[in-house]
Amino acid sequence: MRGLYDNEMKLEFLSKSSNEAFARITVAAFASQLDPTIEEISDIKTAVSEAVTNCIIHAYEDEEGIVKVVTRLINNVVEIEISDSGKGIENIELARKPLYTTKSNLERSGMGFTIMESFMDEVNINSVVGIGTKITMKKAIKKEEVQETISEEKNTKLIV
Ligand SMILES: Nc1ncnc2c1ncn2[C@@H]1O[C@H](COP(=O)(O)OP(=O)(O)OP(=O)(O)O)[C@@H](O)[C@H]1O
Ligand SMILES: [Mg+2]
């Protein structure tokens, strides 16, 4: 039986800052099945890093909790869901605004959601105060058009 997605993976880890790199590298490795460019992979890593850091810093604050990451591939689209069962976001519209942060004293710049939005095609935020937050992000991996122009003399492939 074939599911809706071409491929899917799930991660669950403790909200320790040492796991931020683990999440970003693992999602990037999984998404690399779609043959992304270095820039596309770097965009995905940055967006995952921002969302996971938010779970560690804002959702659980001084406590430790579970962060879940689900990554799905469908056609040429990477869909990433990052969720926590932490304190939730009171005003989602405000949280999305550039420079808005509830932790300005901790050298946060309030740019996490703005960065996610600029590097991914779609960013959705679902959050319930006291229950948790789920961020869903999508990015299409644009296939390079490969034109196989086999030169008669050199027998080389030309990528345009
Ligand atoms: N998972 C989360 N749980 C609870 N609150 C969150 C979560 N993610 C974001 N927020 C809230 O949304 C605000 C904006 O998040 P954003 O990532 O844009 O900025 P920041 O984390 O404060 O700063 P920066 O990401 O630049 O270090 C945060 O200050 C916090 O109040
Ligand atoms: Mg942030």
Listed in sequence order, the residues at least 6 apart from 116 whose beta carbon sits closer than 8 Å to its beta carbon are 47, 50, 51, 123, 135, 137
2 located within any domain: no
List 66's β-bridge partners, or say none.
14
148 located within any domain: yes
* pLDDT band for position 158 (cuts 50, 70, 90): low
Exactly one of 19, 20, 24, 54 is catalytic; which is it? 54
DSSP three-state, residue 132: strand
Between residues 150 and 130, which one has the greater pLDDT?
130
Distance separating alpha carbons of residues 43 and 98, to the nearest angstrom:
18
Task: Show the ligand 1 pocket: residues with CB < 6 angstroms.
Answer: 50, 54-55, 58-59, 84, 86-89, 95, 100-103, 108-113, 133
22 located within any domain: yes
Whole-model pTM: value is: 0.89
Q: Containing domain of residue 88, as a range? A: 7-159
1 located within any domain: no
pLDDT for position 147: 45
Q: What percent of the chain has pLDDT over 90?
A: 80
Catalytic residue list contains 122: no
Q: Is the predicted pLDDT of residue 159 greater than 90, yes or no?
A: no
28 located within any domain: yes
Torsion sign (Cα): 22, 20, 34, 12: positive
Catalytic residue list contains 108: yes
**Region 77-91 average pLDDT:** 98
Whole-angstrom CA distances from 45 to 62, 64, 98, 159 are: 25, 23, 20, 26
- Give 56's DSSP letter: I
Q: How far is the CA of 74 from the centre of ligand 2 (A)?
A: 27
Residue minimizing CA distance to atom 16 of ligand 1: 112
Q: For residue 75, give the CATH number of its domain.
A: 3.30.565.10
* pLDDT band for position 83 (cuts 50, 70, 90): very high
Exactly one of 8, 81, 96, 108 is catalytic; which is it? 108
Structural domain tally of the chain? 1
